Amino acid sequence: MKKRILSGMRPTGKLHLGHLMGALNNWVKLQDEYLCFYMIADWHALMSEYEDPKNLKESCYEMVRDFVACGLDPEKSVIFVQSHVPEHLELAMIFSDITPLAWVERVPTYKEQLREVKGRDLTTYGFLGYPVLQAADIAVYRANAVPVGVDQVPHLELTREIVRRFNGLYKTGLFPEPDAILTKTSKLLGLDNRKMSKSYNNFILLSDTPDAIRKKVSVMITDAERIKLRDRGHPDICNVFSYYAGFAKPDHAPKVRGWCEGASKGCTECKKALAEIVIESLEPIRARRAKMSDDEVEDIIRKGAKKARDAASETMREVKKLINFLQ
């Protein structure tokens, strides 16, 4: 039996290069070695978007398109929408009963988000339980591993504590303690050198047209000390250069270093060449996306929900036996 993986993303709009380099490429690679459950976490999205959820449905559709276009294979992996599997909530309820309040209150992301997220009131009952639901997402598939970025490590640590407590209380080995598969933090920053993020509007979407990509790349910040063509540049501090390292063929980056340090080509030209490379490497994704009909998307969602529910309800039967629920 293959080991299992679960991971998820909140549907907050179309995906960008940061998602691709920071997570999806890695998810694609894991598909052969593991049985993978890839989830669109709409309940988690609602926790912050509850005042204005108008884009949720469309974001779920777009996320399925992006997932499949990037190479997640619905024949190999289970691609599903979280709220189509109510078993997550059942397990989250049971986990709530065994999770001491202090454990959730001390999760660092909780305090941080309360402090930093502006324009939304996150002082809700649901939001405090964010990592408990996340623990249930993982445990309901008895996942052995979770590919995540470093920012999610505290949540995974809490998941391990909760399942350990469950296993201890009910003298069972039902839940494995999941390991983090850390995705190396993507070196790809946004167009303005900050983290690529929807809220900074500094991203390149996987679904952007070639012209949109050209426009976006042309405004990327370069080595600030290179003002004239004759100034020698410093590729190692230039974000444009790190994109070359991420996208271009291996022999390309040395060439760019040469023209940058040798001051033989200017930044405008350098960015023009980069835009074409990004366009070319996104071409298969764009093509796959364009080929996907609404029916195909619906079909993936429907079949994913069925497979996910089958796996989740099997776990819940065992859980209910252990806690002596009348079934």
Least Å distance between CB 62 and ligand TRP? 16
Q: Round to whole Å and give the CA distance between 117 and 107.
A: 16
- Binding window for ligand SF4 (CB under 6 A); candidates: 109-117, 184-192, 219-227, 311-319: 219-227
Q: Which amino acid is at 122?
A: L
Residue the block writes with tokens 């997932």: 67
> Phi and psi for 180 in degrees, rounded to 5?
-80, 135
CB 5 within 8 A of CB 34: yes
From candidates 256, 278, 285, 319, binder to ligand SF4 by CB under 6 A: 256
From candidates 148, 163, 253, 273, binder to ligand TRP by CB under 6 A: 148
Q: Round to whole Å and give the CA distance between 65 and 219.
A: 28
Instruction: Select from ligand SF4, ligand TRP, none the partner in contact with residue 68, using the beta carbon and a kind-dependent cut-off of 5 to 8 Å.
Output: none
- Binding window for ligand TRP (CB under 6 A); candidates: 5-13, 169-177, 262-270, 302-310: 5-13
Q: Which residue number has the CB closest to ligand TRP?
A: 8
Strand ranges of the sheet holding 4-9, from the earlier edge strand across to the other edge: 78-81, 35-40, 4-9, 145-148, 179-182
Which tokens hold the place of 83? 């709220």
Least Å distance between CB 6 and ligand TRP? 6
Least Å distance between CB 232 and ligand SF4? 9
CA-closest candidate to residue 91, choices 324, 321, 323, 316 = 316
Least Å distance between CB 172 and ligand TRP? 22
Contact residues for 89 (Cβ-Cβ < 8 A; gap 6+): 43, 133, 136
Q: Round to whole Å and give the CA distance between 110 and 108.
A: 5
- Binding window for ligand TRP (CB under 6 A); candidates: 4-12, 60-68, 73-81, 99-107: 4-12
26 binds ligand TRP (CB under 6 A): no
Least Å distance between CB 38 and ligand SF4? 35
Residue the block writes with tokens 């339980």: 129
Binding residues (CB under 6 A) for ligand TRP: these are: 6-10, 41, 44, 134, 137-138, 146, 148, 152
Binding residues (CB under 6 A) for ligand SF4: these are: 222-223, 226, 233, 235, 238, 240-241, 256, 260, 267, 270-271
